Structure 1
Amino acid sequence: MSEAARETARFAALAEQSNVGPHTLDQLQADIRRVVTTYPSRPIEPLFHEVRELRDRAFNLLEGRQAPHHTRDLYLAAGLLCGVLANASFDLNRYHEAETQARAAFLCGELAGHNGLRAWLRGLQSLIAYWDGRPRDAVQLAHAGMEFVPENGTAHIRLASISARAWGQLGHRTEALAALRQADEHRERLTPDIEHDDPGGMMSFPLAKQHLYAGTTHLWLRDPTSLTHAKEAANQAIQLYQADPPERRRLGELALARVDLAQVHLATGDLDAAADQGHTVLGLAATRRTESIDKGLDRLARHLNEGPAATSPTAIGLREAITHHRARALPPGETT
């Protein structure tokens, strides 16, 4: 019996050992909050390498021994960081790598048992499908994300808004408008105790972004009433984004709202206003360039080429500026 007691004591001593203390987790969580807060306004390539180092730190800690509740916290941290890498990979036009990172992030969310992260990641996977020209997959992934009720925050508003854009891309007016109403209903149900996303930043879905997605949805539908709604929503998004302090302004999303506004102006015959918005977007893209901005500019260039003013100096000048912008490759992020 004495030997059995000594064996139990050795096990207890081993179980008590941990490579994670309160300071380690606090520092990792603080680094994650800083990254997700600054992501929407920073150049992506240098941030990618910083996040990769943080992910490796989380992975290394998970290979050690810690208490089960610390293991869950580390899986959540690893999932968030893989999610940021997935988003960055997509922004750098690396769809395959983005999907790989997103799948690993979702696995971490499963192991952490965190619905908010799982819902956010299904939304990211849906966005990747949307921009990859797979709107039906985008709808299915957004609906799959709705299965996870987040602990708090705006994940379901985001999923409904993503679904609306995908339905709009498919030309399904009824479903698109229903998804926009669903997003509004989720927004109305937010209360002060659950409205904040954790860790916030790029993981949150502010009202400006909801207006942006609504505007894009109406733009896909393209009838006169929808174009009026698209213009209103894009202007609302721009006003809200510009109201943010410069250091927190979401430059990529602001650029996308301006791309949509340019498309509305072009569709309604105001070429000069479309060109003003297009050149403003090119200025923003010089600071923070992403794959979605480039694709938005590509659509604008195609519509410039198809319209009655295609041979006007204004249209030619904007098309040439977009072509010059596209000739400069996206930063070659190493997306592993």
Structure 2
Amino acid sequence: MRSTLFRESVLARRWNLFATFAAKFALARDALADRERDPRLRRVSVSERTFDRWMAGDVKGLPYPNTCRVLEHLFGVEAERLFAPPTPAPTHPVSDRGARVADRRELRLQDTESTDPYGPGEESVGDRLLTGVREAADVSWAFVRSMDGSNVDAYELDFWQREIAGLANAYVHAPLRPLFRELVVVRDHLFALLRGRQTPGQRRTLLLLAGTSCLLLAHASQNLGDPHSAMRQIRAARACADEGDQPHLLAWAHGTAALIAEWSPRHLQAAPDLAAHGVELSPKGPSRVRNLAVRARAAARIGDTATASAVLELLDRERNRQPSRDAMADFGGLLSFPEAKCEYYLGGTYLLLGRHVEAEHHARSAIAMYEAGPADQRSYGDETLARFDVIAARLIEGDLATARLGFEHILSVPSEKHIGQFDGALDRLLPLARTPQARALVEDVRNEWAPPKIASEHPLPSP
């Protein structure tokens, strides 16, 4: 057993019972989390096995940084000093017992100066009793919190809402692969919280956040070329929406399921029905407008001109209504449906309907809006797909010079920003190339194009 300042500090405070130490640690942790407004600290804990190792001096390195922060707040000493040997005894001659008493008094003085509201002083029998009373109350309170308290508070819920909003906004302009890893980490934290206890209102909010993280992972999985995994994420998002009574999340999940099916040739026929269900579930607001746009394009893609035209008329009326509050659109970014995105959808729909003049008008409008808007709201995916629509319209007109300029823009997109839909959009251009020169142009671009793919040989699960 190796003596350390941690061991001496614990013994001096009579915290050598693990339950006592754990209660003190939890109180210090929560106080520090409140003071620094850092909800991540509330997840820090120490197991009994770790505590025993610390007491035995069996420490090969410092604990994790957040654990060190709590320990430093608890003892008022840097972590490096806590796990080092204690300060040597004073050089003036004193008995061993006197040295131990002096050391303990010094430790108590350090502790009371930083944490004891009653101030320093000699420890009498009454002081020891009062200390015992406080420790008993600490243990009782820690137990009550673990029994029927909540593992989140308003600060933490606000923190995770900001995290989801930040990721949703970053999604439209940042490279996807690093973002995917961040989404997985956030989802895992939210799932861990949901395994604990919360008030009904807190749990409903956590389910919205967890379901939204799954929804973002569904979009990411689709963009990375794996629609099978994307649909599994959709099912998780729907489960969270159902349990948390979150209609906006449920409606958005159905719309995203329709998008996934629309870009998958094997499941294209299911896309319009999925989108129609999303429209039925959508309250008034951006989610409804978005699902109408998805439904119109999906219907046009399977050749249902009548339905597509009817939905376009309904979409036009819905766009002009006063927007209402929308739990998904409040996150912003990918989970909003701005005018530029709507114009991109309209361009794609009119192109599928064979109305390429209107298609080019809306596609160019989307590109102009993205170019003129803030950089952090510029969706490279939608803008690039809108450029594909302009190229398609130009190929139909036989305008190879403008089509070639469009391809130059597309080929300048960094490879880390390629998404799976680009490949499908490029494949759809070849039938529109009606002359040898046009076909040669498209083939040249295909030869330069190498978007990343994640093969998925499984059928899509039902959403």
Is the aligned partner of 1:230 residue 2:354?
Answer: no
Counterpart residue number, 2:415: 286
Is the aligned partner of 1:324 residue 2:448?
Answer: yes
1:136 offset after TM fit, Å?
2.7
Is the aligned partner of 1:296 residue 2:425?
Answer: yes
**Contact 2:271–2:298 at 8 Å: present in 1 too?**
yes
After superposition, residues 1-336 of structure 1 pair within 5 angstroms as 16-133=148-265, 134-150=267-283, 153-191=285-323, 197-222=329-354, 226-284=355-413, 286-304=415-433, 307-308=434-435, 310=436, 312=437, 315-326=439-450, 329-330=452-453
More displaced stretch, 280-289 vs 120-129: 280-289
In 2: Cα distance, 1:34 partner to 1:258 partner: 27
In 2: Cα distance, 1:193 partner to 1:66 partner: 26
1:315 offset after TM fit, Å?
4.8
Higher relative contact order (CA 8 A, sep 6+): 1
When residues 184 and 291 of structure 1 are mapped into structure 2, their CA distance, relative to the original with a 3 A threshold, is same
**Contact 2:370–2:377 at 8 Å: present in 1 too?**
no
- What SS class does the counterpart of residue 42 from structure 1 fall into? coil
1:303 offset after TM fit, Å?
3.0
Rg bigger for which structure? 2
**Contact 1:212–1:234 at 8 Å: present in 2 too?**
yes
In 2: Cα distance, 1:171 partner to 1:179 partner: 14
> In the TM superposition, what whole-angstrom CA distance separates every residue of 1:108-145 from its partner, at most 9, and x where no partner exists?
01111111111111000000010012333111011111
**Contact 2:248–2:326 at 8 Å: present in 1 too?**
no
In 2: Cα distance, 1:89 partner to 1:193 partner: 28
**Contact 2:249–2:328 at 8 Å: present in 1 too?**
no
Query: Which has a greater percent of helix?
Result: 1
In 1: Cα distance, 2:342 partner to 2:410 partner: 19
**Contact 2:419–2:452 at 8 Å: present in 1 too?**
no
When residues 244 and 13 of structure 1 are mapped into structure 2, their CA distance, relative to the original with a 3 A threshold, is closer
1:287 offset after TM fit, Å?
5.0
**Contact 1:17–1:66 at 8 Å: present in 2 too?**
yes
**Contact 1:158–1:210 at 8 Å: present in 2 too?**
yes
When residues 188 and 24 of structure 1 are mapped into structure 2, their CA distance, relative to the original with a 3 A threshold, is same
Gaps of 5+ in 2: 1-142, 457-463
When residues 193 and 115 of structure 1 are mapped into structure 2, their CA distance, relative to the original with a 3 A threshold, is closer
1:146 offset after TM fit, Å?
1.9
In 1: Cα distance, 2:452 partner to 2:260 partner: 20
When residues 252 and 285 of structure 1 are mapped into structure 2, their CA distance, relative to the original with a 3 A threshold, is farther
**Contact 1:279–1:318 at 8 Å: present in 2 too?**
no
More displaced stretch, 130-139 vs 74-83: 130-139
In 2: Cα distance, 1:37 partner to 1:231 partner: 27
> Could you tell me the TM-score, scaled by structure 2's length?
0.64
**Contact 2:258–2:275 at 8 Å: present in 1 too?**
yes
> Could you tell me the TM-score, scaled by structure 1's length?
0.87
In 2: Cα distance, 1:104 partner to 1:66 partner: 20
1:323 offset after TM fit, Å?
2.4
Q: CA RMSD in A?
A: 2.4
**Contact 1:37–1:200 at 8 Å: present in 2 too?**
yes
1:276 offset after TM fit, Å?
1.2
**Contact 1:135–1:167 at 8 Å: present in 2 too?**
no
**Contact 1:19–1:64 at 8 Å: present in 2 too?**
yes
- What SS class does the counterpart of residue 428 from structure 2 fall into? helix
Q: Letter of the 1:284 partner, please give it.
A: V
1:321 offset after TM fit, Å?
2.7
1:196 offset after TM fit, Å?
8.5
In 2: Cα distance, 1:173 partner to 1:241 partner: 29
**Contact 1:153–1:196 at 8 Å: present in 2 too?**
no
> In the TM superposition, what whole-angstrom CA distance separates every residue of 1:179-232 from its partner, at most 9, and x where no partner exists?
11111111111247669922121111111111111111111122xxx1111111
In 2: Cα distance, 1:188 partner to 1:248 partner: 22
Gaps of 5+ in 1: 1-10
1:79 offset after TM fit, Å?
0.2
